[in-house]
């Protein structure tokens, strides 16, 4: 391989990112309102899945509680964007030590929700150090299961089961674009920023440390990597991304309530991350596409008899998961990576683990 | 570092080129006067229902509605000779939101934006409906005859004029149970098991309001989450509290489970009270399988529709019509004794009536105006129940009877009462 090939090889990643960016920018020209809504949700779940990917795919910590992080972000955004005056309309009276203002523009709640959720993630990350593998999975599952219950328990802050209706979204600053387009770009720009952040983190020393810990903690320690630091940090980053996704979700759907984040969300997110491809940032995009489109379009598949048609989305998801695990252990993203590598090197190699090019 | 700069440069270039052109407003493609969802020969309506998941026992409701709409589309109106409503066939689209309000938002947007429905009808679930109530208000799309008895719809019609309810509300129903207990078993020790959301809490509120100064009859009240897999702990504690009356403010699947668990923890309450939503034969059959027929016989509830499996109504005109409609226009291979199909048919009947009130050239505003002018008899409801609303009374059904369960049917044991 000569220098030209190598540089071309290195350029593929950014080129793809560019192409995707242009595609996203031009999408609204060709799509109706509902489709745009769906793609806005895709952006939101790309952000959430990037977080999960970093936690489970890069640093090797299994998390069945990601939905709870998304929920924390959503509630934070909801409470902040309404502010105390807005919450009074729901007869809610959070304790005065919670620093709620008078309501703020939804867009500013996104970074704050990310920060708050990130701190929450760090808090979870510390005790998680003592757990590994299945124990960690169970502990995070417990968080996911208890999240709706805790939200209902503190109903005077969260609105309990009735939830909180946010103000319906509208284009800020009087800009002349439709609200639907504004939400679409808001979500995708955030996704782009998060993607770049994830890329910077994973390609550098931090990413190498994560992968070293994932692949063999003892070996990592003996190479001078401090696992406690990096694992906790992974939890924090993962939670921060999920928090940003949650905030966008709250802004988009304009409603949060404990049953919007049941334990099923955490499980579906993990399944989507795995199908999309753990250890690959592009995998988050495939996972998000699956997560958003599959449940709706699997509702009335022709081959299912009447009796089971209702359960079809769950079955289809399950079948997908099994097929991908058998045929493409690295997920959909790795299939495409293998294609790229084959184009570059003229060889087709099947990879059974996440590649070091990640 | 160079890769990063290159990437950022590229993104920046793409943005400056593409962004201005991409900011285009979506243009309306319909004629300005057209009412969405209404054409010369069709009315498109939609709804969201839990077809899968913990609340999937409600799945027959939209199918019952579908059967009735199919019947209306096929029959000729006696007065006008036209099929459908004034010659317009009803196109009924419904989706599965799994009782998750987040899904409801996405699906309702699909109904309004993509399917361009005229109105949403009978959407199920207090929280799912709450989630999309502001959306309906913002887009001025009618959200009518919702399948939940939360008191919000009847009480908050001024703030949310595009939303209307249908069935008896939970608070009023809770008060009826209180009154019945005070009249028939004033020394009861009541243990309440309720769903930890607006559904369960509304019922509890009604019960406590109805008991008034005798609120202390409630010796214990414990809740559960929809995601809980076992209620053993709560039901044991209810038993230990010394309660002799078990009041269940629970949705269908949890009701059957709770009764089975109560028996399993060794409790034999003197009286079981079940909320009307779950007082269906399907649920009771499930409870009887878990706890035995003798355990569930004698349970008390309320109802506003005829009990379609009660032998007393075997020759009733409406129940016979229901069976005919389901047989001819409903899906194949279903159990038409399932009360939720009957509920769907009864509701669809009222929707069709509403559309007639809205007139030959319906608009969304006319449909909402019609919801304040309801005044007729629904043949599927109990005799004497009148579907009635006015500018100030937005509870279409507020009457019912106390009913008692015995060996497969619910028998009416009280006179018709007025809940509000």
If phi over 0 gives left and psi between -120 and 50 gives alpha, with beta otherwise, what is residue B141? Answer: beta
Stated as kind and residue range, the H or E segment containing B417 is: strand B417-418
Contacts of A249 in chain B (CB under 8 A): 102
In a domain, A313, yes or no: no
Question: How many C-beta neighbours within 10 Å does residue B307 have?
Answer: 23
Specify burial of residue A86 (Cβ count, 10 A radius: 0-12, 13-18, 19+): buried
User: Min CA distance, B309 vs chain A (Å)?
Assistant: 23
* Contact between B7 and A18 using a beta-carbon 8 Å cutoff: yes
CATH code, B369: 3.40.50.2300
Q: Distance (Å) from the C-alpha of residue A260 to the closest C-alpha of chain B? A: 5
Last residue of a domain, one of B303, B328, B345: B303
Collapsed DSSP state (helix, strand, coil) of residue B393? coil
Determine the pLDDT at residue A247: 95
β-pair partners for B300? B273, B404
With beta carbons under 8 A apart, name residues in chain A contacting B26: 32-33, 178, 180
> What letter does residue B410 receive in the DSSP assignment?
E
Beta carbons of B100 and A168 less than 8 Å apart:
no
pLDDT for B21 equals 39
**Structure tokens belonging to residue A188:** 């995708």
B229 domain residue, yes or no: yes
Lowest mean pLDDT among A47-61, B23-37, B97-111: B23-37
For residue A305, is pLDDT > 60?
Answer: no
Closest CA to B112 of B89, B140, B70: B140
Q: What is the pLDDT of residue A358?
A: 46
Would residue B15 count as lying in a domain?
A: no
The yes-or-no verdict on residue A353 having pLDDT over 70 is: no
Looking at the structure, tell me whether residues B50 and B156 fall in a common domain: yes
Q: Are B188 and B299 part of one and the same domain?
A: yes
What is the band of A336 on the pLDDT scale with cuts at 50, 70, 90?
confident
In a domain, B253, yes or no: yes
Same domain, B164 and B193: no
Which residue segment(s) compose the domain that B273 sits in? 170-303
pLDDT confidence of A300, banded at 50, 70, 90? low
* B162 and B174 fall within a common domain: no
Confidence of residue B31 (pLDDT cuts 50, 70, 90): low
Residue A190 lies in a domain: yes
* Boundaries of domain holding A91: 33-263
What secondary structure does DSSP assign to A246-294, as a single string? HHHHHHHH-EE-GGGS-HHHHHHHHHHHHHH-TT-HHHHHHHHHHHHHH
Q: Does A207 touch chain B (CB under 8 A)?
A: no
Answer with the residue of higher pLDDT: A105 or B299.
Answer: B299
Q: Decide: B404 and B299 in contact? Cβ < 8 Å.
A: yes
- pLDDT cut 90: percent of chain A above it: 32
- Together in a domain, B154 and B204: no
Mean pLDDT of A304-320: 67
The ipTM value here is: 0.74
Give the chain B residue whose CA is nearest to the CA of A21: B11
Q: Is residue A94 part of a domain?
A: yes
Q: What's the distance, CA B124 to chain centroid? A: 5
Please tell me the predicted confidence (pLDDT) of residue B27: 39
Q: How many distinct structural domains can be found in chain A?
A: 1
Answer yes or no: do B150 and B249 share one domain.
no
Nearest CA in chain B to A204: B1
Query: What digits encode the pLDDT tens for the residues A22-71?
Result: 888 888 888 888 888 899 999 999 999 999 999 998 988 899 999 999 99
d(CA A230, CA A214): 11
Residues B284 and B192 grouped into a single domain:
yes
Average pLDDT, chain B: 89
With CB atoms and an 8 Å threshold, state whether A295 touches B99.
Answer: no
| Any domain includes A323 | no
Sign of torsion over alpha carbons B204, B205, B211, B214: positive
Q: How confident is the model at residue B350 (pLDDT cuts 50, 70, 90)?
A: very high
B295 and B176 in a single domain? The answer is yes
Within a domain: A60:
yes
Tell me, what's the pLDDT at B396? 95
Same domain, B157 and B116: yes
What is the least distance, in Å, from the CA of A218 to any CA of chain B? 31
C-alpha to C-alpha distance for A26 and A38, rounded to whole angstroms: 15
Longest Cα pair distance anywhere in chain A, in angstroms?
69
**pLDDT at residue A223, rounded to an integer:** 86
What's the structural domain count of chain B? 2
pLDDT band at residue B25 using 50, 70 and 90 as cut-offs: very low
- Based on the fold, state whether residues B121 and B225 are members of the same structural domain: no
pLDDT over 80 at B281, yes or no: yes
Tell me if A121 is assigned to some domain: yes
pTM of the model: 0.82
State whether B15 and A192 contact (CB < 8 Å).
Answer: no
In this structure, what are the phi and psi dihedrals at residue B33, rounded to the nearest 5 degrees? -90, -15
With a pLDDT cut of 70, the percent of chain B lying above it is 92
From the list B264, B181, A149, B99, the residue with the least C-alpha distance to B192 is B181
Once rounded to an integer, what is the mean pLDDT over residues B213-234? 91
Whether chain B has a CB inside 8 Å of the CB on A149: the answer is yes
Chain A partners within 8 Å of B14 (Cβ): 18, 21-22, 25
DSSP label of B34? P
Same domain, B214 and B235: yes
Under a CB-based contact definition with an 8 Å cutoff, are residues B313 and B306 in contact? yes
3-class DSSP state of A82:
helix
Q: Which residue of A has its CA nearest to B126?
A: A162
Average pLDDT in the B342-356 region? 96
A329 confidence band (pLDDT: 50, 70, 90): confident
Q: Residue A88 is encoded by which pair of tokens? A: 């009074």
H or E element in which residue A317 lies: helix A312-327
* pLDDT greater at residue B168 or residue A339: B168
Structural domain contains residue A297: no
From A9-18, B346-355, B387-396, the region with the lowest mean pLDDT: A9-18
Domain end, chosen from B303, B321, B355, is at B303
Give A174 to chain B, closest Cα distance, Å: 14
Choose among A10, A32, A299: nearest Cβ to B3.
Answer: A10
Residue A302 within a domain: no
Cα Rg for chain A, rounded, in angstroms? 21
In this prediction, residue B360 has a pLDDT band, given cuts at 50, 70 and 90, of very high
Other CB atoms within 10 A of residue A314 CB: 18
A246, A71 Cβ separation under 8 angstroms: yes
Distance separating alpha carbons of residues A230 and A127, to the nearest angstrom:
14
CB-CB neighbours of B187 under 10 Å: 7
Task: Give pLDDT tens digits for B400-417.
Answer: 999 999 998 899 999 998
């Amino acid at each position: 391989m000569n220098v030209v090939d190598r540089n071309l090889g290195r350029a593929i990643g950014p080129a793809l990112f560019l192409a995707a960016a242009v595609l996203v920018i031009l999408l609204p020209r060709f799509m109706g309102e509902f489709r745009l809504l769906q793609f806005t949700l895709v952006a939101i779940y790309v952000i959430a899945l990037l977080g999960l990917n970093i936690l489970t795919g890069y640093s090797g910590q299994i998390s069945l509680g990601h939905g709870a992080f998304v929920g924390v972000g959503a509630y934070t955004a909801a409470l902040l964007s309404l502010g105390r005056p807005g919450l009074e309309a729901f007869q809610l009276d959070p304790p005065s030590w919670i620093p709620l203002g008078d309501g703020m523009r939804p867009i500013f709640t996104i970074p704050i929700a990310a920060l708050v959720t990130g701190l929450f993630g760090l808090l979870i990350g510390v005790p998680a150090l003592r757990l590994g593998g299945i124990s960690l999975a169970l502990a995070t599952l417990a968080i996911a299961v208890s999240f709706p219950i805790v939200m209902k328990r503190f109903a005077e802050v969260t609105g309990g089961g009735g939830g909180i209706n946010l103000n319906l979204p509208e284009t800020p600053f009087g800009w002349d674009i439709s609200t639907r387009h504004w939400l679409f770009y808001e979500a995708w720009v955030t996704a782009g920023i998060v993607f770049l952040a994830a890329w910077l983190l994973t390609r550098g020393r931090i990413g190498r440390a994560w992968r070293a810990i994932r692949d063999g903690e003892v070996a990592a320690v003996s190479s001078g990597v401090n696992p406690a630091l990096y694992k906790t940090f992974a939890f924090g980053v993962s939670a921060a991304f999920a928090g940003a996704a949650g905030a966008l979700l709250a802004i988009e759907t304009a409603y949060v309530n404990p049953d919007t984040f049941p334990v099923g969300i955490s499980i579906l997110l993990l399944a989507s991350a795995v199908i999309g491809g753990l250890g690959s940032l592009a995998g988050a995009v495939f996972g998000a596409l699956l997560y958003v489109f599959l449940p709706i379009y699997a509702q009335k598949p022709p081959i299912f008899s009447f009796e089971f048609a209702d359960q079809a989305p769950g079955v289809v998801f399950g079948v997908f998961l099994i097929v991908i695990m058998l045929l493409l252990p690295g997920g959909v993203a790795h299939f495409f990576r293998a294609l790229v590598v084959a184009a570059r090197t003229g060889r087709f190699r099947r990879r059974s683990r996440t590649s070091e090019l990640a | 570092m160079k890769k990063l700069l290159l990437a950022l440069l590229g993104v920046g270039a793409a943005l400056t080129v593409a962004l201005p052109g991409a900011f285009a407003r979506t243009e309306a493609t319909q004629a300005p006067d057209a009412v969405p969802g209404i054409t010369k020969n069709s009315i498109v309506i939609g709804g969201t229902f839990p077809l899968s998941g913990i609340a999937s026992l409600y799945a027959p409701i939209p199918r019952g509605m579908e059967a009735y709409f199919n019947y209306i589309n096929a029959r000729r109106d006696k007065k006008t000779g036209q099929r459908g409503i004034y010659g317009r066939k009803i196109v009924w689209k419904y989706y599965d939101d799994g009782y998750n309000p987040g899904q409801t938002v996405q699906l309702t947007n699909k109904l309004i934006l993509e399917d361009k429905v005229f109105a949403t009808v009978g959407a199920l679930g207090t929280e799912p409906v709450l989630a999309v109530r502001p959306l309906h208000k913002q887009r001025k799309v009618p959200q009518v005859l919702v399948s939940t008895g939360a008191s919000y719809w009847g009480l908050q019609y001024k703030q949310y004029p595009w939303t209307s309810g249908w069935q008896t509300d939970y608070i009023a129903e809770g008060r009826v149970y209180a009154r019945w207990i005070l009249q028939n078993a004033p020394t009861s020790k009541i243990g309440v098991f309720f769903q930890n959301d607006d559904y369960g809490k509304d019922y509890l509120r009604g019960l406590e309001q109805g008991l008034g100064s005798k609120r202390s009859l409630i010796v214990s009240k414990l809740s559960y989450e929809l995601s809980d897999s076992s209620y053993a702990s709560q039901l044991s504690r209810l038993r230990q509290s010394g309660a002799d009356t078990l009041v269940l403010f629970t949705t269908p699947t949890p009701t059957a489970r709770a009764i089975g668990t109560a028996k399993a923890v060794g409790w034999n309450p003197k009286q079981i009270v079940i909320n009307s939503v779950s007082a269906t034969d399907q649920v009771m059959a499930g409870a009887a399988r878990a706890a035995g027929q003798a355990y569930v016989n004698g349970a008390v509830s309320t109802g506003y529709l005829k009990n379609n499996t009660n032998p007393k109504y075997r020759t009733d005109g409406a129940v016979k019509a229901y069976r005919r409609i389901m047989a001819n226009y409903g899906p194949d291979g279903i159990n038409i004794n399932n009360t939720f199909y009957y509920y769907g048919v009864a509701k669809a009947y009222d929707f069709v009536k509403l559309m007639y009130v809205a007139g030959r050239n319906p608009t969304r505003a006319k449909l909402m105006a019609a919801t304040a002018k309801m005044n007729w008899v629904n043949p599927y409801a109990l005799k004497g129940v009148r579907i009635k609303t006015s500018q100030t009374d937005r509870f279409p059904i507020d009457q019912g009877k106390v009913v008692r369960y015995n060996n497969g049917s619910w028998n009416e044991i009280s006179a018709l009462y007025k809940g509000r």
